[in-house]
Structure 1
Amino acid sequence: MNGEISVVRRFFTLLEDEQAAEAVALLAPEVVWKNTGMPTISGRRVGGMLLDMQRRNIGFRADLHHIASDGPVVLTERTDYLTYRRWESAFWVCGTLEVHDGLITLWDDHFSPGGFVAASLKGLVGALRR
């Protein structure tokens, strides 16, 4: 496995293990985070958002279905899970990450906004039934 893929796998594992501070250490100071339909976030704000998610007990998990790289570019196909208390949303994500000098400089996630909303509503119904 190459170094870029190792960095990306480690990043997602740290987020899953609620070690946001360690995950943030894998982000370049000028990192850019893009999500479909949401404003682009860059720099220290990215780390701040990840730390805030952990502080608010918003859980994150990712099932990596495929991961491949070409030089500094790492492509992921995964199912992401966001959780809060009894609520869980599971949705498909295709991500492009760039790794330079062992740090993530770009995190660009693509997903279906409609799929995300449907998964979130399904999670709400599930939470209400528990």
Structure 2
Amino acid sequence: MKSPEAIPAAADLAVNFFNTMARGDADAAVALLHPDILYTNVGWPTLRHAGTARVLGALRGPGSFNVEFLTVSADGNTVLTERMDELAIGRFRWQFWACGRIELRDGLVVGWRDYVDHAHLAITLLRAVAAILIPSMQRPLPAPPSIG
């Protein structure tokens, strides 16, 4: 059995990882990656450190990422997140459900595996396009917390 103190710390680290991305701080997000990171977005190839750093580097571009946590659960150094993710460029805001598993080692993300429902992705993509013309079709996600 894991100590109760380890569970909130792991959950906090995982939540901080996503919130760092949501604040657009690619360098800080990459700094939270373990050298042995394996990132799998199910259905796509698994990426190691350099590939994951390239994905996070997209936070420096014209688009942005945001996240709203629906559920966060931790067991030792494994954290499960159920989230609403948002990818945005200008008025286009694609919001979709994602579930992920974050594994931590030495306080860094060593495993990141996300699952999505591809039918849901298609529907929410259509909603995002329609919301460009009818903004009331989609509420904005709350801003990520600032660094205290």
The TM-score, its normalising length taken from structure 1, stands at 0.91
Higher strand share: 1
Which structure has the greater CA radius of gyration?
A: 2
Per mean C-alpha deviation after superposition, the further-off stretch among 32-41 and 21-30 is 32-41
Aligned-partner residue type, residue 83 of structure 1:
A
Q: Is the 8 A contact 1:36 1:113 kept in 2?
A: no
Q: Is the 8 A contact 1:24 1:47 kept in 2?
A: yes
How large is the Cα RMSD of the aligned pairs?
1.4
- Answer yes or no: is 1:123 the counterpart of 2:128: yes
- Answer yes or no: is 1:114 the counterpart of 2:119: yes
d(CA) in 2 for partners of 1:113 and 1:62? Answer: 18
Q: Is the 8 A contact 2:24 2:60 kept in 1?
A: no
Q: Is the 8 A contact 1:73 1:96 kept in 2?
A: yes
1:13 corresponds to:
19
Per mean C-alpha deviation after superposition, the further-off stretch among 113-122 and 25-34 is 113-122
- Answer yes or no: is 1:38 the counterpart of 2:44: yes
Q: Is the 8 A contact 1:15 1:61 kept in 2?
A: yes
Q: Deviations over 1:75-121 (max 9, x none)?
A: 01111111111111111111111011100001101110111122112
d(CA) in 2 for partners of 1:55 and 1:12? Answer: 15
Choose the corresponding residue for 1:98, options 81, 88, 103: 103
Q: Percent identity?
A: 29
Aligned-partner residue type, residue 119 of structure 2:
G
The alpha carbon displacement at 1:129 in A equals 5.0
The TM-score, its normalising length taken from structure 2, stands at 0.81
Aligned-partner residue type, residue 5 of structure 1:
A
The alpha carbon displacement at 1:14 in A equals 0.8
Q: Is the 8 A contact 2:26 2:60 kept in 1?
A: no
Q: Is the 8 A contact 2:65 2:87 kept in 1?
A: yes
d(CA) in 1 for partners of 2:87 and 2:74? Answer: 25
Q: Deviations over 1:27-72 (max 9, x none)?
A: 1112111112212111221012111x12322211111111111111
